[in-house]
Structure 1
Amino acid sequence: MKTIGLGNALVDVLLRLDSDEVLKEVGIEKGAMDLIDRNKMLVIRKARQQLESNTAPGGSVSNSMRAMARLGAHTGYIGKTGTDELSDFYEEELRKAGVTPHLIKVPGETGSSTVLISPDGERTMATYLGPAADLVADELQEDIICKYNCIYIEGYLIVNGSLLRRAMELAKQCGLLVALDLANFHVVRGNRELLHELVPKYVDILFCNESEAEAYTGQPAREAILTLSKEVQIAIVTLGKEGALIAAEGQVTVIPVSGGKPVDTTGAGDHFAAGFLYGFTRNATIEQSGRIGSLLAGNIIDVIGAKIPDERWEQIKLKVNEILA
């Protein structure tokens, strides 16, 4: 099976601050997670030139597609970027990971999510969506989507109802399975009516964490999983340090957590989804797919950022093969 992702194409930048003056300059409260405008983004990028930084391709579904590709899956990615050096970097990193990029490029700066790390270790997140937020339904190309067997859609796109609906309609017209991540409980609460329409109608595989499951169903996770399983073919609720629940064909499978004490939980859900979808494309059992998801999540929480280091992948692949044996 070939899987294509659809999401917000953002570059992640980890920026180590010498002081909190940059935060004052751009007017961001320390420790906050803010959407910022272009002017604030340009101030941050100027400051970045003099500071220690680490850059990586981001966006939750992009993270998943790259992780799947590193395991050997055939994946592609649809997103919208600018025409700057970050756009070139983003495309190059997708290709390096083995993902086929289907990027829509428009003049301007590519969106970025900057994590500003203060000298005391506290993190402030500033996200400039840029072109990523302007992807529209008419820009989706049926001939591209029809080359794949499954589409994995980023939950943050729920705020763009026409885009989300069109993506799901095209996928079904082409005979694809539709997988959706609910992304954030605030997004779910603000778009419950649309979700309750689209999920039962189009979605085959639904990913969410316990707060998102509760926001969608009004029930705690262990009750929500049963409700969700009546609407989709496979429902997955991740539970942090308690692992995950997967419901399919009337059965609930408990997946134990993998890895030790988290260093950074960024990207854990993205990598669980990647592992599960990889197993699913290999015709693995629900339990095997869940264990692969847990394995990848356990590796990403052991490092800073949302990218598993290159040197870990050979060992990960050996463990995946053991799970699939």
Structure 2
Amino acid sequence: MTQTAMELMKVNKTIGSKHIIKDLSFTINKGEVFGFIGPNGAGKTTTIRMMVGLMKISEGDVRILGKSIKTNFKEAIREVGAIVENPELYPFMSGWQNLKHFARMIPGITDERIMDVVRLLGMEKPIKEKVGRYSLGMRQRLGIAQALLHKPSILILDEPTNGLDPAGIREIRKYIRRLAEEEEVAVIISSHLLSEIELMCDRIGIIKNGEMITTQYVQGEEENAQKTFSLEVLPTEQALELLRTDLELETNVKDGLLSFNCEKDRMPVIIKKLVANDIDIYQVNMSNGSLEDKFFDLIGENTIE
């Protein structure tokens, strides 16, 4: 049974006469990687700040494992670890010394727990080196280790792959997936890199002008989600006319293939119709469509500044 880790309940933020966040409601489950995306100025950072208590909620509530951030802040926030952009670390100290220094601020963190987190993030070798010598990817990993020391149920990462090279991005992705799957941590990621969100996340929420316009599974786990189909058929022109006119499908032609979006359960009808009209079918391919396509379909073009 799915357990809710965090729930936003009709969260609003007003600053002066500006209504920035409007009735934002969604849930994040334990062991889930949730991508929080939207164009610049959509309200992602404001929402994250309210989630972790850095900004006051005007109306509504955030519940963390059922505990309200408004009425039971200390108990609720204890369940959260967070990194907003680059983690703040002491470059003249080793990775181990940084973690030990942070551990002193929270009662009950043992050397064994520090070592567990170091192993989880594959940092056994560099942990004794000075942080000033770390690559950007290694710093991010140490930042995540720091955020995990107190065994949070929820990890919030704002742009965790910012400035990383492809190898560093892949590394961070691997450890985030491991956290969710092995530690049952709910991970919330805000990022502009849609291709990374697609590889990393189970579900996404898209925010625009302070409103959540959709939450959906990245791999189309919803019942009968729309898929992208491409067909190799002959004669192409006749098939194109049939798809566009008779079946009312918005169809494109590229490299001799016809492509369109539709629900999976429509395909048998479409194929029968083509065959009945003496059209030869050589191949049918299906994909979920990229997250970038979904994003621009929902947000509109030219919205990321």
Q: TM-score, normalised on structure 2?
A: 0.28
Structure with bigger helix share is 1
- Structure with bigger RCO (C-alpha 8 Å, 6+ apart): 2
In our comparison, the structure showing a higher alpha carbon Rg is: 2
Structure with bigger strand share is 2
